[in-house]
Structure 1
């Protein structure tokens, strides 16, 4: 039996997926929500067939994931305009000018010359152009690489970004496979990340750098579980310097370094050394930009995400509605300060009172920490879900896969007449995600209870 006969059905699905990805990347307007959701649902169904139904080998699925990503290589992102700001920051830094000290609007006013400045500012929008950059230094370095390689072509820089994204995802596939083998979980789980149309579209297609951050973080976890905590700490710091999200996970390592077979003093020394390496490495990456003005601008821009911006939120929207009923106005300024504190208290509680001493326990704690963070956030853009999705691959929980499917509903807010968020669709998204998560938690707790010995049952021996 030749290759085509043996893989006839998978090849037909593959060709169909390529056609749908081409349509998604080259012939779709964000405002055409009906077409967007139709293509997305179809691609998600095909991914499900590949991962769960067809018994395909690892390398066939890996090659498919790479091919699907290559489809987007020559297209400009159509669901997000953030990449215009990435290009701006990179071209500014390539001239030796810190993107943390000048907004795009102020740069133009000061006479700074940026290639294709009009196209970049129009592309990123006036709101983005009026704020300082909030992207950490390793991200800025990658933006600068694109500027140095192709600083006069938007498409050329986009292609550089895509090569970086694809290499990062291949790295995630490699270390994800090895990590799954180490903790005795099915290797096919990694394809719920690598073949997921959500990841392919949002990261490779729309150029969000969550994949680069996750590559360094998963590599770090792999090294940590092999006992190489020093290099794990360095890589965690690098991941933080791509995206700040891994900072949330730092308290969760407390129990990992509190193992009974190791003396308490040695545990404490290792833990403090681990945190010290992370802190020092982060400091080194930020060092070229450090100044009092940088600290003010960077912190002020980040605070906007908690106290000014609203999109696709869940619990916060309920709080906002209650606020309107009680005081008559939007209480985002107050809620945006309180909700992060609640997240921090939750993470500290998980760090102190939950067993996080095995790889699966630690990753599960991270999954719930990031999920609670997003459920209490005022802004949840679709690409944010990449982090809980990847973490879920190494656990018993699949609700982030459901979330990665339903997150497409948030794009209904971008209509032909401008931005108009449909709260009933937001409600559908989160009711289903909450419902599935609660079902899984109850199911897994019952399973764990059945595995525990019944201490009330008398020993008849």
Structure 2
């Protein structure tokens, strides 16, 4: 009887397997209410498994891998991006630079440079096919690997991409666990990421490459903790070369290299608190130099006179053209409507990155982050500030806040990963259209819990 009681969690494991199978092979993105039912039920099972202290670490790892393998032969049903991944990879395999051409140009000219070009273009959609690729070079390497092993099958290429993402998650598990051990934090925290249905569905299921970026980031943070800062710089550069997001974290490493005059228990700092030594500044400068040189070297195989213009034009579109699942931006937009009578995205899209830079400067010089936990905390808040003010917040963006949060006292990204499914209500409408009531519910819940955690941790003297 005692044995049966200990194994009750298997009911939720098998239930999750069935739900993941239904999600992977039978769900359509436009079916919003079935989507929500599966999503919230899976999260319910997830929370029950996380709260069960009878499950061993090894069993949880096995469960997480099984959940991912369910998606192995599934076609992503919540995102079309993987078609562009396959297009870019096959372009490189054919010796063509994916940064210099538009898929729609080839299709309009009835020129098909790669296998299944028409199918890939139809899959990625006109919007994706009409813009230059903005995926950095190590991300392109992943696409090339898929093209190498499956140059004529979209299905086969998707399997290769999925295996890369699963392996990256295994790497995150390895470095995340080791770092948690070194920081004397509960190693079970890693499962807030590894076992999270959001991560399994959006990354493994829908082939978003945040896990590859986060693998290099976790490896970089682990080597930084070991004082192997040269290797850390290289690994963080690799992370940036998968996704650009870790660029935001670079200023926050300042205090790791530049010591403080005092170690008083204060969360705020002034300029006279810093103990600036030439040796430390040299090390910090070398760290940044290695990061940027490594990123530049990785881009060199794709270099041409128009690469920089095409790339930054494509990245800039996210600030000045696209709107999705935003929070404060939508408030600013409504204010703009009241006073100007039209959408102010061209102006607001330039202001919000500036606000992010200012906030990162404040975190860098006026908040104490000399320990690894403090560093993870300011990384979390710096990134979330950017997302809270951004014009576009796609669901898969949350992978980074989730992994950062497991090293902190803050768990609002976990709640966010639950309620962000409300943003998919936009795809239930034909044509696509957001219902801002759903977006409002999402962010009211997130901000309410964030405020609660800040007040609780401030009371307990936990530094933001």
- CA 1:7 to 1:153, structure 2 compared with 1: closer, same or farther past 3 Å? farther
Q: Does 1:105 pair with 2:118?
A: no
- Tell me if the contact between 1:10 and 1:54 (Cα under 8 Å) persists in the aligned partners: no
Partner SS, residue 55 of structure 1: coil
What residue number does 1:137 align with?
137
Alignment of 1:167-186 (within 5 A): 167-186=167-186
Deviation string 1:256-291 (CA, Å, 9 cap, x unpaired) is 101259871111011001001101100110111122
Partner SS, residue 367 of structure 1: helix
What residue number does 2:264 align with?
none
Aligned residue among 350, 353, 363 for 2:376: 363
Shift of 1:5: 4.2
What residue number does 1:48 align with?
47
Partner SS, residue 36 of structure 1: helix
What residue number does 1:311 align with?
324
Shift of 1:292: 2.7
* CA–CA distance in structure 2, aligned partners of residues 10 and 438 of structure 1: 33
What residue number does 2:201 align with?
201
Alignment of 1:265-344 (within 5 A): 265-344=278-357
The range that moved more, 266-275 or 416-425, is: 416-425
What residue number does 2:426 align with?
413
* CA–CA distance in structure 2, aligned partners of residues 122 and 231 of structure 1: 42
- Tell me if the contact between 1:85 and 1:120 (Cα under 8 Å) persists in the aligned partners: yes
Shift of 1:111: 2.4
Shift of 1:112: 4.0
- How many residue pairs are counted as aligned between the two chains? 449
What residue number does 2:435 align with?
422
What residue number does 2:212 align with?
212
What residue number does 1:458 align with?
none
Partner SS, residue 286 of structure 1: helix
Shift of 1:418: 2.7
Shift of 1:7: 5.0
* CA–CA distance in structure 2, aligned partners of residues 291 and 323 of structure 1: 40
Shift of 1:55: 2.4
Deviation string 1:298-317 (CA, Å, 9 cap, x unpaired) is 00000000000000000000
What residue number does 1:70 align with?
69
Aligned residue among 394, 402, 410 for 1:389: 402
* CA–CA distance in structure 1, aligned partners of residues 10 and 414 of structure 2: 24
* CA–CA distance in structure 2, aligned partners of residues 375 and 55 of structure 1: 38
Shift of 1:53: 2.9
Partner SS, residue 97 of structure 1: coil
The range that moved more, 149-158 or 108-117, is: 108-117
What residue number does 1:258 align with?
258
- Tell me if the contact between 1:132 and 1:297 (Cα under 8 Å) persists in the aligned partners: yes
What residue number does 1:58 align with?
57
* CA–CA distance in structure 2, aligned partners of residues 255 and 388 of structure 1: 21
* CA–CA distance in structure 1, aligned partners of residues 331 and 126 of structure 2: 29
* CA–CA distance in structure 2, aligned partners of residues 241 and 6 of structure 1: 48
- Tell me if the contact between 2:112 and 2:118 (Cα under 8 Å) persists in the aligned partners: no
* CA–CA distance in structure 1, aligned partners of residues 187 and 196 of structure 2: 15
* CA–CA distance in structure 1, aligned partners of residues 10 and 321 of structure 2: 48
After TM superposition, the score normalised by the length of structure 2 is 0.94
What residue number does 2:37 align with?
38
- Tell me if the contact between 2:99 and 2:132 (Cα under 8 Å) persists in the aligned partners: yes
Shift of 1:113: 2.2
Deviation string 1:430-456 (CA, Å, 9 cap, x unpaired) is 11111111111111111118x9xxxxx
- CA 1:54 to 1:34, structure 2 compared with 1: closer, same or farther past 3 Å? farther
Partner SS, residue 461 of structure 2: helix
- Tell me if the contact between 2:356 and 2:385 (Cα under 8 Å) persists in the aligned partners: yes
What residue number does 2:417 align with?
404
User: Aligned Cα RMSD in Å?
Assistant: 1.5
* CA–CA distance in structure 2, aligned partners of residues 155 and 305 of structure 1: 29
What residue number does 2:147 align with?
147
- Tell me if the contact between 1:316 and 1:378 (Cα under 8 Å) persists in the aligned partners: yes
Shift of 1:62: 0.5
Q: Does 1:165 pair with 2:178?
A: no
What residue number does 2:269 align with?
none
Partner SS, residue 208 of structure 2: coil
After TM superposition, the score normalised by the length of structure 1 is 0.95
Shift of 1:190: 0.6
Shift of 1:6: 6.8
- Tell me if the contact between 2:6 and 2:54 (Cα under 8 Å) persists in the aligned partners: no
Aligned residue among 434, 439, 446 for 1:433: 446
Gaps of 5+ in 1: 452-461
Deviation string 1:155-186 (CA, Å, 9 cap, x unpaired) is 10010011101000011111111111111111
Shift of 1:14: 1.0
